[in-house]
Amino acid sequence: MQTQVPFNIIPIEEDGFHLQLSGKINDNDVNLLIDTGASRSVFDENKIKAILGENLIEEIEKLSTGLGTNSMQSKKAVLESFKIGDIHLHNYEVAVLDLSHVNQSYTQIGLDEIAGVIGSDLLYDMKAVIDYDKSTLTLNQ
């Protein structure tokens, strides 16, 4: 199955851009960031707690690096339902990190908070194609 998902190109400062798209986690609408430089997709701990409940997030032993820090405690959760466009993933295990610093920055510049970052793992698995002219992300399942 192939789906084309529209995204918004959000100007950041004077010379950069972020790509934001909509998705659904367990039937909750969420904003997601596309980040080809992120090796893994990660989801915000606070947003996931609000959707799944605190008890469904599990700590794991390894630390994660990136997102402006040297190391962060890593956690994981299983999303019963995760949708991007017509792609529907069931019981999808995801990394969960505290992305509050990202959301605080977004709030300060008047942007909507994000629930997660779609990284290269998911983009690669779905043979993603980003079309900047049409502002679409094509995914293949």
Percentage of the chain lying above the pLDDT 70 cut: 91
pLDDT at 141: 86
Residue with tokens 């019981």: 91
Domains, the chain, in order of start with CATH, read 22-126 (2.40.70.10)
Whether 96 shows a pLDDT value over 60: the answer reads: yes
pTM, 2 dp? 0.86
Strands 57-66 and 69-84: antiparallel
Q: How far apart (Å, rounded) are the C-alpha atoms in residues 36 and 50?
A: 27
Helix and strand numbers, DSSP H then E, in the chain: 3, 10
pLDDT at 71: 55
Residue with tokens 């339902």: 81
